[in-house]
Structure 1
Amino acid sequence: MPFKKPRGGQLLEICKQSNHYLVKFRIVVEHKIVSIKLSRSVAHKYRNRRQRYDLRMKLFAGIINSELRI
């Protein structure tokens, strides 16, 4: 959670830096979510066995992570 400025006060420099790093990390995560949603494998309704859904999503997330090297 980002730090909020207190009413009628100023935000400390440490809190500002923390918010800055949080925003940078969040951008990376949001871009990964968009790349997963844009792929055709998860854009359609999943019609296979539910047991393997988690495994396939983890494999797909691993592919996305290896492409972005994170």
Structure 2
Amino acid sequence: MALKPGVLYVAYGWTRDSTWYTGHVEFTLERLSNLKPGQVLSQTYVEANDRFEDRVQPYSQFAAEKCA
């Protein structure tokens, strides 16, 4: 499936038996176009702003933090 400009996509993952799940990430083709190979887009809730904000980081850093 090709991504379409201007469309908001939401990715979310879970296991079949719901014993594990991920947080979601929202993105558009335009926001993804800013990523470079080896980077990961995630979103972090910022309480002061009461919203989720994009966070771009190297895959190695993401894996070290999230897969430990």
Larger gyration radius, structure 1 or structure 2: 1
- TM-score, normalised to structure 1's length? 0.26
TM-score by length of 2: 0.26
Higher helix share: 1
| Structure with more strand by fraction | 2
Name which structure has the greater RCO, CA cutoff 8 Å, separation 6+: 1
